Amino acid sequence: MQNLIDRQVRQLGEIERTAQLKALLGLLAARSGQLVAAGSLESDLRISRPLARQLTWSAELADLYHYRDHSKVEVDVVLENRRRQVIGIEVKAASTVRADDFAGLRRLAEKLGDDFIVGIVLYTGTATLPFGPKFRALPVSAVWQL
* Residues 125-137: tens digit of each pLDDT: 999 999 999 999 9
Closest CA to 123 of 76, 60, 86, 80: 76
Q: Are 108 and 116 in contact (CB under 8 A)?
A: yes
| pLDDT at residue 20 is higher than 80 | no
Domain spans, the chain:
2-145
Q: What is the pTM of this model?
A: 0.64
pLDDT digits (tens, 9 = 90+) for 39-76: 566 666 555 444 644 445 567 777 778 888 888 889 98
